[in-house]
Structure 1
Amino acid sequence: MALQLMKLLVTATTTTDAVPTDSRFFHTTTGETAAGSTLTIDAASFFEDTGAAVTSLPSLAANNNYFNVYINGVLQMDDLSTYTPGATGVGSLAIDVPAGGDSILTSTPIVLEIVSFAPSSTTTVET
């Protein structure tokens, strides 16, 4: 018999599920926020989809979450807002209203949307 290179034959298949969870928090402004100012909304000033008051804004895990801010139904640019997780007095959303632009009027709806992912993977190895 001639010499042969002996090697293993291995195949692997990985299935990954992203499993997103979407949370929405709602607020209606109580006063006008002028251009060049910052509107800061405390966690307790938001309410959930059910109408229940919010007591805490959730933490965002690195690389597994993102948040969107909508003002009067319009998605806003990322660098205009700062999200701070936590309970009343700590958790908040701060929106910088650009100087030279329009103000945010009284009774304007603000929606904070948080999307979180809980990925799971399964690998099957066959030899």
Structure 2
Amino acid sequence: MPPSLIKLFVTASSVVAGTVTTVTTTTVDDNVRRYHAVVTLGMIDGTAGTTTIPDTSFLDDSGTAVAAGALPVLPVLPAGGYYSLYINGVLQEGDLSALSTTELVIASAALLPGTPVIIETHDYSGTISASASTPALTVTTTMNT
């Protein structure tokens, strides 16, 4: 009889069991501030079609004048933030205005002197979130020959 190759026969099986526990803690910090001003004739530019309210024309909720360059600039994502603009008590569309540290520019000259303007800002830059995972996995492998 000619020689033949003897092959090893092996079987293996594995079992993975266990859990992964994940805990996420999120603290939302919505820093809300409001500022109000009254439109004057000098703020309205009929030629440009805009109304520009300088920072120093605004008062905060306590009635304190806003310092030069101190209007809030809201963070971009992921921290996030936004502002709402109310003209004469009516919420305005977002694209109607632009807010910087030095002024609020409203894309309209249709305002009248004496019109109240309110900016309400929401700043989420103080929001924190943390996740922790605890794996408890067991892997068992059995080989049979």
> What TM-score does the superposition give when structure 2 sets the normalisation length?
0.71
Matches within 5 A, 1:9-88: 9-31=19-41, 33=44, 37-55=49-67, 56-63=70-77, 64-85=80-101
For residues 35 and 80 of structure 1, the distance between their equivalents in structure 2, rounded to whole angstroms, comes to: 17
For residues 82 and 59 of structure 1, the distance between their equivalents in structure 2, rounded to whole angstroms, comes to: 10
For residues 7 and 38 of structure 1, the distance between their equivalents in structure 2, rounded to whole angstroms, comes to: 66
Which segments of 5 or more consecutive residues in structure 1 lack a partner in the other structure? 86-90
Cross-structure match for 1:94: 105
SS where residue 19 of structure 2 aligns? coil
Instruction: Report whether the alignment pairs 1:119 with 2:127.
Output: yes
Deviations 1:31-89 (A, max 9, x none): 2845972011111110111111001112211121101110000011111101112xxxx
State the one-letter code of the partner of 2:116: P
Structure whose residues are more often strand by fraction: 2
SS where residue 65 of structure 2 aligns? coil
SS where residue 107 of structure 1 aligns? coil
Displacement of 1:15 = 2.0
For residues 106 and 63 of structure 2, the distance between their equivalents in structure 1, rounded to whole angstroms, comes to: 23
> What TM-score does the superposition give when structure 1 sets the normalisation length?
0.80
Cross-structure match for 1:88: none
Which segments of 5 or more consecutive residues in structure 2 lack a partner in the other structure? 1-11, 136-145
Flag the structure with larger Rg.
2
For residues 71 and 48 of structure 2, the distance between their equivalents in structure 1, rounded to whole angstroms, comes to: 26
